[in-house]
Structure 1
Amino acid sequence: MQSKPLCPRATIPICSLWLLLACSWAAGGLVGAEPVLSSRFVGAPGCASSSCHGGAGEKRSQWVSWNAADVHRRANTTLSARRSVQIAEAAKLGDPAASPRCTVCHAPFADVPATLRVNALDRTDGVSCETCHGPAEPYLRSHWRPDFTRVDRTLAGLRDLSNLYVRANTCVACHQNVDFDLQLAGHPELIFELDGQTRSEPRHWKEAKDFSGAQAWFVGQAVALREMAWQSGKTDQKAHPNVGRRDLEVGWLVRKAAKAAGFDGEDPDALAKLAAATRWKPAATAAILKALASSAGEFRANPAKSGRPEIRAERLVLALDRLLAASPPETEKKVETELADLFRRAQSRSDFSPADFSAALEKLAAKLD
């Protein structure tokens, strides 16, 4: 089966709305997110006044940016597409716009009980402010105060998305795993890549001065691996023989990157926490880039021992893309042609050639030396 198109740079999730499935309101139940379960949702209009986030200027236009240009805003419209109807029919879900298995990510407000609503919530909002930032009732009237610190806002219930571990946990629930009966019905696989997908968003926030795209990439991959391993553990391997292979290949990538960066241990959740709390340095980015670029020999190994090299290649080229984007411009520029060639060779799983990919990877590595 041919894989989804891989796209370089910040266009990765724009290739298809399927790569931008919404992070559900229930994502707070993941490790690292601590929602106050009794807190209530006010809906996007509660954030949209001109004196708050619906006005003009950098500090007042967050709602405007989301409403006008963010693909999350239209996540619910996917459910009325012919493809979605066909998937729901094959999976015996009925109307996808009314099935909780679909709305939990595409129209999360449809699943919020009345007891957790301050106002009537508009399901056509798709994935909106509180989906990612947390139910606003406890912090709505205070989070704007100049005397409120980051800690104060977090304790009031505003999810701290500047913490990369929290950010990854907030998004991964709807960006990585898809139940296998839905995949068999036609739902595509998802690839979660925190840095590239974040950068493709219409920017309505400022990153910290010490933000590193490479750090965001690593934290995201470790969190994705944790979720994939969980899914493998609860899946019948005989019925779905490929499921275990996906997390094995991402595990290879995360372990290799962790070793290069000097992180101890193999538990993906622990690695994600450690990396998010680390003061990331350019040397770590360079070390991971060198280690991954030098892995050509592992694609020439016995396929029976190397698992699914085509899946490994998909994740590897996305990793190289983000690591190069976080590197000095001259480093990125000198391997631009080689990276594009690797993307081309990783596009199709059915046509993937380990030998050709390995040779192309060696060319990129040689230019980096």
Structure 2
Amino acid sequence: MKYDPLIKVAFVRPPLSEHAFRGTGSYYRNLLISLKKEDGLEVTAIENGAPVGNFDIIHYPYFDPFFLTMPLISKKNTVVTVHDLIPLKYPDKFKSGIKGLFKWFIQKGTLCRSRHIITDSHSSKKDIAAITGFPQKDIRVIYLGIENVFRKISDNRILMPVLTRYQLNTPFILYVGDINWNKNIPGLIKALSFLEKENGAPQLALVGRGFVNNSGNLTEINKLISDLNLDGKIKRIADVPPDDLVALYNLAEMFILPSFDEGFGLPLLEAMACQTPVISSDRGSLAEISGRAVFSVDPNDSGQMGKAIKKLLKNKELRDRLVAEGILQSQKFTWEKTSRATVNVYKKILGIKEY
């Protein structure tokens, strides 16, 4: 479908290189590819701080409250994607320091001068409105999509080398993500300990660069693993190539996301697309995104989490039901839908009729 006039959009590259492949980097890359396929839209990727004189819309697909990721003043129509404000929602768990608070003061002012905010979930929309005072009518929820590479694989010639490469045994439980407080990794480790004391626990694979890069959170996690004598049960794996990640989802007996809060929860949907049953908490956006396609647990109750893992290991009928519902749920989330909804935000700002 063509629309007139041509909309010229500057799509600003995220400034932090550690988000290049997952998280914000995945959003930037996949949305840019999809937007470039839209008729009537001319999208140009630019560096942060580049001239923006010839564009109708400036879209910042990344926002960090504690880093200066936007110009102080912009005369252009600005759209900002704010994935979540979890660090500001739980200030006692995310220490920003004086410099961080000062930068947030500046970032908040810049954000509130934007024409529109895009966010990943209704949960995040509620938080953004409460924390910033930005009008809810100008915050649009647009769900993320799943890349097509996340799919069921049955070919052992693809799967077995990955199992060997990462020294994993089947069955194993999979977690993919970072190690911030809201991810509740200690709760997951305690759930594994609960199983180990009962009758023996399966292996747990923790995938993400946070599990190998030194940090205060990792020190605490490693100490807990050691204190609970679980070193032999837990594999810590850095970021893996996309093809290997797809294979790990396929190989896992289940995927688990035990978060205290989330802005979206993309790994949960990736696991569903690979036909892997999912255990998840129901906090933040997770109930909204997962629908009925997960085994829900209380993130504050590691014993309950352990029992859920045990039940899913033993109950094939339950696993099959979650897989079937997960396939249907994951199919609702595509980058084409994300792109089309994003174009509608641009059109609303410019006074052009939406799709």
TM-score by shorter chain over 0.5: no
Give the TM-score, by structure 2 length: 0.31
Higher RCO (C-alpha under 8 Å, 6+ residues apart): 1
More strand by share: 2
Give the TM-score, by structure 1 length: 0.30
More helix by share: 1
